[in-house]
Chains A and B, each alone.
Chain A
Amino acid sequence: MQLSVIMDSLPYLFQASIATVCYTLGGIIVGAALAILVCAARFSRSPILQRLARAHVSVFRGIPLLVLLMLIFYLLPLIGIFVPASVSAVLALGLCTSGYLAEMLRGALLAIPAGQTEVAEALGMTGVDVWRRILLPQAMRGCLPQVIGEFIALMKASSLISVIGISELTRVSMNIAATTFRPLEAYIGAGIFYLAINLCLAGCGNLAERRLGRGVPA
């Protein structure tokens, strides 16, 4: 073990950690937007939409992230859509997590008493209003702990976007391993950064839960 290898690569690994967190955050944002749409379809009155929502969850929970990444990376150009690798990466991460987030959101929505929707409708709110003002805010707070868990899982999964050449933590540690001929030190260094990000996220999660988690039906 040469500690100097890890010490010398600290700045690069730190920058790469920021990239890893940003890509994960992008993935969660895309995934959450999709999850809201999927949930809305799942609770709609149209059987076709319900079917589609179920299929979405089944497909995107059944296909591994690496395969999704390849699908998007190879097939988008085939249908004439050319986007940078970073966009493909965020899209793949978002699709991958959308199925899980949709299921979490659905669980949280089901936990909200039905009476609330009835009251809101009695007060003359439209369906969109009910969703925007009553259901979504409560459901989002309700599934926050699970979403933090999903964020951590996605952050670890984001190491796979190194395959399409994105300079995140795993990719940068591969480059360090290749240039220094010291793979052990390079990968252990990256591992330490992953653990550090994890600790930060878990801390943020606890904080957010305490701040937001008041008065929410579990």
Chain B
Amino acid sequence: MSSLALLWHWAPLLLSGIAVTLWSWLLGSLLGLAIGFVVALLRRLPLRPLRWALRLYVEVIRGTPFLLQLFLLYSGGPFIGIRLSALAAGIICLGVHAGAYFAEIFRAGFESLPKGQIEAASSFGMTPLQILWRISLPTMLVAIFPSIVSMLISISKETVILSIITVPNLMYQIQSMTVETYSAFAGIIALAAFYWIFVESLARICALVERRLTFFMRAGAAS
């Protein structure tokens, strides 16, 4: 059986694996962005114990491997009453992991905001929430967009690790194909190609979006 015929024969399973991969990337990224944003906001409150706790979360997550965090949640979880399916554990872990990185990105974003903007907005009588929503967030998002993109790409590459705890993603399906057919070649090459195309497309789409976002900041755009 030729390599292509083999892949064709396994296509339904491989496609379901691709779906699981993309799904976990999307949900993990959204969860991570939400956690990161909330953590960055809470870290600005003048509550010392809370700030310490959140800083501990960020430093511990950023200092240990994703795989270890995954094992801790998936095989250690049941010992403290947390029982999750592999996919749920994988997505939650991706989100919590990415959340720590996003929290740092958002924190840098908040710190980069010019103070004058916020003062001007409040002198116009905007409430703090209005300022956040209308002034701070849009300005900040443009500034930190590149960092967010590189994190989204990191997360997309991390989805592959979920196969280790038996999440039926593309890597997992390709491994089961390899075990059944005794031919590693086609599957592994296809897997590498999939990830390379996935990462490259992400990077290119985001580069286009970034060009649109920074249109008014580029020299000559105004004149």
Contacts and interface: CB of A to CB of B under 8 A. Distances in A.
Interface of A: 58-59, 61-68, 70-71, 74-75, 78, 156-160, 162-163, 170, 173-174, 177, 182-184, 187-188, 190-191, 194-195, 198
Contacts of B161: 64, 66, 160
Contact of B72 (A66, A156, A191, A198): A191
Contact of A64 (B65, B71, B158): B158
B60 interface: yes
B188 A191 contact: no
Chain A CB within 10 Å — which of B64, B75, B192, B199 has the most? B64
Contacts of A159: 65-68
B184 A163 contact: no
Contacts, number: 102
Interface residues of B, number: 33
B185 A78 contact: yes
A62 B188 contact: no
A188 B68 CA distance: 9
Chain A CB within 10 Å — which of B65, B189, B191 has the most? B65
Contacts of B191: 67, 70
Query: What secondary structure prevails in chain B residues at the interface with A?
Result: helix
B124 interface: no
B200 interface: yes
B195 A187 contact: no
A160 B63 contact: no
Nearest to A196: B63
B195 A191 contact: no
B167 interface: no
B160 A184 contact: no
B164 interface: yes
A183 B199 contact: no
A64 B160 contact: yes
Interface string B79-91: 1100000000000
11 contacts: A63-B195, A64-B158, A66-B161, A71-B188, A71-B189, A75-B184, A159-B66, A162-B67, A170-B71, A191-B72, A194-B63
Contact of A160 (B59, B67, B76, B189): B67
B23 interface: no
Given A59-B196, A157-B65, 12 more contacts: A67-B171, A68-B192, A71-B192, A78-B184, A159-B65, A159-B67, A160-B67, A160-B161, A162-B67, A170-B67, A170-B68, A177-B76
